[in-house]
């Protein structure tokens, strides 16, 4: 049994709710695992503290007064947004998108037309079959074949 599983079983063990098979597995784990044994001790101490605490009872008629107040509160209004507000939301959204498109283009830096920048990351920069490579030789042979 792993520590994670053992620590999940500790609460049920303290409540006496573990089936015998799991109880034996937990006991075997606790015999050789100091961390889980310490976790069990902490949980036992916490349970003792909580069990020893004083219970408070609600004053007489408390629940009746609460229920009466709940009945007196106004029912929540259904969620209603005027139609003009919906149009205003859509207009603001379109304005934000449009200004993003316009200002995005205005703020973009102009590209100088040197060879590297004008081609950018185009795949044409790379020769798929350099002259000395197997592909290059193959293509050269194909061109020679078509030339004849």
Residue pair 26/18 in contact by the 8 Å Cβ criterion: yes
Kindly tell me which residue out of 14, 22, 25, 33 binds Zn ion, with binding defined by CB under 5 A: 33
Residue count of the chain, please give it: 148
Task: Report phi then psi at 124, rounded to 5.
Answer: -70, -15
Does residue number 3 form part of the binding site for Zn ion (CB under 5 A)? yes
Please, what is the minimum distance in Å from the beta carbon of residue 1 to Zn ion? 8
Please, what is the minimum distance in Å from the beta carbon of residue 26 to Zn ion? 10
Does residue number 94 form part of the binding site for Zn ion (CB under 5 A)? no
Stretch near Zn ion under the rule CB under 5 A, chosen from 30-38, 79-87, 103-111, 132-140: 30-38
Angle at 36 between CA 35 and CA 37, to 5 degrees: 90
Please, what is the minimum distance in Å from the beta carbon of residue 40 to Zn ion? 10
* Structure token digits, residue 35: 């961390």
Q: Compare residues 5 and 86 and give the one whose CB is closer to Zn ion.
A: 5
Does residue number 36 form part of the binding site for Zn ion (CB under 5 A)? yes
DSSP H helices, the chain, are 3-14, 20-32, 34-51, 62-72, 83-107, 115-119, 134-147
Please, what is the minimum distance in Å from the beta carbon of residue 16 to Zn ion? 21
């Amino acid at each position: 049994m792993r520590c994670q599983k053992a620590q999940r079983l500790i609460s049920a063990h303290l409540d006496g709710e573990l089936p015998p098979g799991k109880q034996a597995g937990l006991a075997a784990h606790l015999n050789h695992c100091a961390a889980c044994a310490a976790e069990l001790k902490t949980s036992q101490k916490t349970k003792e503290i909580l069990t020893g605490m004083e219970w408070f009872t609600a004053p007489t008629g408390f629940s009746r007064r609460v229920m009466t107040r709940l009945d007196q509160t106004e029912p929540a209004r259904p969620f209603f947004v005027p139609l003009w507000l919906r149009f205003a939301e859509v207009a603001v959204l379109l304005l934000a998108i449009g200004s993003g498109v316009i200002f995005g283009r205005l703020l973009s830096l102009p590209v100088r037309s040197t060879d590297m920048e004008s081609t950018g990351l185009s795949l044409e920069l790379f020769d798929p079959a350099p002259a000395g490579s197997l592909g290059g030789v193959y293509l050269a042979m194909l061109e020679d074949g078509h030339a004849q």
